[in-house]
Structure 1
Amino acid sequence: MAGWPGWLRRGHLGTEADRATFRTLHTAALATPALRAGLTEASAQRSVRHLRSLLASPAVALTDRERLLAWDGGQHHHQDQAGPLAQGVVAEGGTVVLQRDAIPCGHPGCPLRQVIVAPLTVEERVIGTFQVFVPSASAALVRAAEEVAGWVSGQLELAELDASRTRLMEAEVRALRAQISPHFVYNSLNAIASFVRTDPERARELLLEFADFTRYSFRRHGEFTTLAEELNSIERYLVLEKARFGDRLTVVLRVAPEVLPVVVPFLSLQPLVENAVRHGLEQKAGSGRISIIAEDNGSEAMISVEDDGVGEDPEKVRRVLAGDPETDSVGLGNVDARLRSAFGDDYGLVVETAPSAGTKVIVRVPKYAPGVHP
Structure 2
Amino acid sequence: MNIVIAIDSFKGSLSSLEAGEAAATGILRACPGGNIKILPLADGGEGTVEALTIGMGGELQTVKVTGPLDEPIIAQYGILATEKTAIMEMAAAAGITLVPKGKRNPLYTTTYGVGEMLLDAIRKGCRHFIIGIGGSATNDGGLGMLQALGYKMLDDMGNPVSHNALALEKLAAIDDSDVLPEIKDCTFRIACDVTNPLCGPEGCSAVFGPQKGAPPNMISQMDRWLTRYAELAQAKYPHANPDAPGAGAAGGLGFAFLTFTNAKLESGIHIVMTETKLEDHIAHADIVVTGEGQLDGQTVMGKAPIGVAQIAKSHAKPVIAFSGCVAPDARICNEHGIDAYFPILRQVTTLQDAMEPGTARQNLTDTAEQVFRLLKIKSHPER
Normalising by the smaller structure, the TM-score range is under 0.3
TM-score, structure 1 as length reference: 0.25
- The higher radius of gyration belongs to 1
Give the number of the structure whose residues are more often helix, by fraction. Answer: 1
Q: TM-score, normalised by structure 2?
A: 0.25
